[in-house]
Structure 1
Amino acid sequence: MKEKKVKGTVLNQTKIIFFIQVLNSFISGILTIVLPLLMKERNLDIVTIGLIFASLPLIFQLTRMSFAVVSDFLGRKLFFILNGLLAVLSSSIYYLSYTPFAFLLGKVTEGTKSASLWAVNRAFLLEKSGKKRKTLVHLRTTAFVSMAVGSLLAGFLIVWIFYTNTVMLCILIGAVIVPASLLLVDRKKEKFNIRQALGHLDLRNKEKTFTTFVLLYFVMGLSFGFKSGYVFPLFLSENKFGTETIGIFLGAQILLAGLSLYLFTKKMKIEKLILLGGFLYSVMLPLLGFSSGLLAAFLLVMFGVVEGLLGGGQEGILLKIVRKESYSTDIGLLMMGLHGGTTISLATSGFLIASWGFAAPFLLSALIFVIFYVFAYFHLRE
């Protein structure tokens, strides 16, 4: 009887985490469509938009790393509550934003909000679940599908209730996260030990494979930044697609990514996911850059399959090389490389697009990604 009660408690806690993830990803899906178009509507140029979006991965990683280290000692619940509070605050700032500085402040707050979730959600589930890879795949699939629904609805919401009321909806949804977080039961807290915390952060204490993948994740982030954030929505906008259509296409892409992640990770080894996803990435993205009209939209939607393959590969890599005693910190170190690279390429993407069009960042992204997936494949095989 006691064993059944423990299993039931774990299941309920897992459901709460997934519910919080659904709300966060749904908001992200809406903002993925709304923010670039809202910035364009309020007369921000593409270079400024690129620089504003570049602040998110930087802020995200700096705060995520701090949150991850502290949560390994003091528990995870506090950061889920913080996530809810910041979800309300970041959307409220966007609601009131008309200047580059105001949008930048919103991005900083949004980055901290996302960091408070992703610093602890994987670690919380890994501590509660026995089926570790399956659980992480379900988490990413849930994030993709929820984000897809948000993106699909965003275009219609903008047309029906306009930009400001769509952002107001994000504020209301964010407010639900706080009471949901209060239902979580944290593990027993430990006394914060600065020496032990610094030991978790010291790459000299990690295996060589771990250090290698920190560098490879930086290369991956450098590639991803050229097509992240505002790039796809404005690419479709430049191809003369309307707001509703942009939401439908990007929503379909994200939904396809979630389905691909779920289906392929059950049947393929991690190294094969990386190899196939990497090859398709390096072929499809340049084709997308030189396409226009319906062909561009079709390729962009089908790119979701690539995102799903690579998402499954990333989760598999995390599970292979992180240590149980420092789940959050190890994941944070890997993501530090990823988001460090993303920040650099996102900051330069606006200049490239303004000078040479969308083909330039897409081609550069594909070439850089070849370095990541080739080296990652051979390291995983070893």
Structure 2
Amino acid sequence: MWTSLTRLREPMTLAGVFTLGAVSLGLRFLPADVLPAAAAALAGYAAGFLLFALAPEPWHRPRLIALVAMAGLSLLLASLTPRLGTAQVLLVIWVACAVNLLSPRWVIGAALLLNVAFYFLMVHHGFGAPGTMTLINIGFQALAGLCVFYARRSEESRDALARVNADLLATRALLADSARDAERLRVARELHDVAGHKLTAMKINLRALASDPALAGREEVRIAQQLSTELLDDIRSVVQAMRDSRGLDLQTAIRALAAPLPRPALDLRIADGVQIADPAVAESLLRIVQECLTNAARHANADTLTVSLQKEDAGMHLHIEDDGRLKGRVREGNGLSGIRERVAALGGDLRLGSSATGGLRVDVRLPA
């Protein structure tokens, strides 16, 4: 419901609604015997327009039916009101809608057929200069179609750029974590190999001094021995802590990946005990979530995508599901096939199915 209200506030939809409202005002000039049929046709056109504009994008067939109905109703109004100019405006709106659903070739072909039918209707009703009127209509239709086409292309380019930027941010987060881990390991090795070695040598020399009868009773020697032992233990503790990796920050990377998408919302749950130190595993998990986000947005019309990652006795379990609705059974396209290949490369297991709401469910189990 909220998605439909959001679409209703879009500029193109509002422009269409206001235009239809303005067109309806012109019906008051019609004769009484034609008015009911014309009003019913215009109401049907408005209903088709609202269905087309507010229906989710995956509803391809209902939107196509609405588009065909709008074309027929436009010609019906052209027949009922040949001198009012209602049909010309409705055909402009139709072309603007068709550009959002059909390929340019289909839009051009369908628009030409409609304009040919409009021309013959004008000839049938004895309208003066029907060819000129038809050409003027085609010009307005082309202008509306091009405006919508380039606006849509611009929006798609913006969305693609946002996805690429999110992908780069997510990858950068993983690379930054990986670089920090590598630097921490290098420093740990340096402390162990250099400082640890020299402190061990100092302990040996202090022990030798303490065994000298002339220095055996000196308190300074005993304190130096104690301090060197404690310092060596401290360095070993620091080295061990630096070697104990907390894993890559997969949560930040996934959230960066989902940030530019208005839908679906991400519900991310990563268990506290999950640690991923291998960048290749983290990268694969990131790409799996990315593909599921894309599928949920494009095909399932989902509002929420739930992602959970937890430890199991045999390894890790990644569970992903959306609250959308699939059409038919799950079919593996390039995206799902890519997920299967990534999981197989890691020696894991992939299972696909439907969620409780009819959306896509993905279960990935990876070995420890």
Larger Rg: 2
Higher helix share: 1
Q: Same fold (TM over 0.5)?
A: no
TM-score between both structures, scaled by the size of structure 1: 0.25
Q: Which has the higher contact order (CA 8 A, sep 6+)?
A: 1
